[in-house]
Amino acid sequence: MGAPFFKFRQFTVWHDRCAMKVGTDGVLLGVWAGQDRPGEILDIGTGSGLIALMLAQRFPQARITGIDSDRDAVMQARENFAGSPWSGRLRAIHTSLQNYCHGPEAASERFGLIVSNPPFYDNTLTNPDSRRCTARHTGGLPHDELLLLSAGLLTDSGVFSLIVPSESERSILRLADRSRLHLHRLTRVYSRPGSGVRRILASFGKSPVPAPIEDSLVLTDADGHRSAEHAALTKEFYLYEQ
């Protein structure tokens, strides 16, 4: 059984009461999303609060709201937020995205950055653990709803960023187009040199850009160590290099 917490340079994430633990996908989105200085950030499916905490460290002026439909995860996120150096700028709300969008706050709130490490899989291969199933499968939050509802919560200049498996690339781009979101940046993530694409990181905005940025990231070198580019991205967070 793994450790009940993961210690970063400036904060600790306890995740023993969360269905999904601290992992590479969340860390990648936390270091990759957002280039400007967003004032308000929304983390959809915040879980332990990992991505919200990373964004609080990266953007010192930002106020971050994390939402999740898992009550235990929200309680743990609140504890992680309270124990961080940025507790005054972080909050966790127990709600689904659908309910949040129909609540009183969403009527007036707009976000300069929205992030999500969303459920990955359809319901054809569901996990018998109901909480882990909710965290990993799209039944409670289909990707079309995620994109459409997020588009309605963005400021005019805001961006929505997410990480999904590589096989979802075409569908995500198609659904974003239906939601009137334009691709700004796409990074294809490879586990090691010569491997197939593992994940994609994608950012969308309400306005088109002249030429969306497309690049790649290889996580490990031929010897299995963290690549130089991966290490540079995460150097302000990980305690030790691997």
33 close to 113: Cβ distance less than 8 angstroms: yes
* pTM of this structure: 0.91
| Rounded CA separation 190/47 (Å) | 25
40 CB-contact burial (10 Å; exposed 0-12 / middle 13-18 / buried 19+): middle
Angle between helices 24-32 and 50-58 (to 10 degrees): 30
pLDDT at 198: 96
85/135: higher pLDDT: 85
Amino acid at site 166: S
Q: What is the CATH T-level fold of the domain 5-234, as seen in this structure?
A: Rossmann fold (3.40.50)
Domain ranges of the chain: 5-234
226 close to 199: Cβ distance less than 8 angstroms: no
**Beta 12-14 vs 90-94: how paired, if at all?**
unpaired
37-82 confidence digits (pLDDT tens): 899 999 999 999 999 999 999 999 999 999 999 999 999 999 999 9
| Rounded CA separation 212/158 (Å) | 15
Q: Strand, helix or coil at 50?
A: helix
Neighbouring residues of 124: CB distance < 8 A, sequence distance ≥ 6: none
